[in-house]
């Protein structure tokens, strides 16, 4: 959990993707998130978190549906949504917090 605090305590926005390898919707988001990361460059970070390997964190954040996406900045959650999103929507959302 302490590492999670280090991840989100940044001045640049952090887009978190809570996913599972077995989930088809999550698999579809891999390419979308690659595009988002490429478009944002060093203005933001995109971090994928496997709920199977980080169960305690997923439970603490009440991640129920997959994929669940969150945007943090300066340690504060700014946005959260479950389900698939398109790259342009995510890029626009993250840019609001740059």
Contact present, 17 and 25 (Cβ < 8 Å) = no
Question: According to the model, what pLDDT value does residue 43 have?
Answer: 97
98: which DSSP letter? -
- Rounded to an integer, the average pLDDT of 9-20 is 97
- Give the end-to-end CA distance of the chain in Å, rounded to a whole number: 25
pLDDT surpasses 80 at 2: no
Fold of 3-83: Glutaredoxin (3.40.30)
For the record, the structure tokens of 30 come out as 């891999």
Q: In three state form, how does the secondary structure of 34-46 look?
A: HHHHHHHHHHCEE
Render pLDDT for 28-44 as a digit per residue (tens, 0 to 9): 999 999 999 999 999 99
Q: Give, to the nearest 10 degrees, the angle between helix 24-40 and helix 87-95.
A: 50
Residue 30 confidence (pLDDT): 94
* pLDDT tens for each residue of 35-69: 999 999 999 999 999 999 999 999 999 999 999 99
């Amino acid at each position: 959990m302490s590492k999670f605090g280090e991840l989100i305590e940044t001045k640049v926005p952090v887009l978190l993707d809570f996913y599972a390898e077995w989930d088809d919707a999550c698999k579809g988001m891999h390419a979308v998130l690659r595009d988002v990361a490429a478009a944002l460059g060093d203005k933001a970070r995109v971090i994928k978190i496997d709920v199977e390997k980080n169960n305690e964190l997923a439970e603490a954040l009440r991640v129920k549906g997959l994929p669940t996406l969150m945007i943090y900045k300066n340690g504060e959650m700014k946005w959260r949504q479950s389900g698939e999103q398109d790259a342009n929507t995510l890029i626009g959302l993250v840019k609001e917090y740059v």
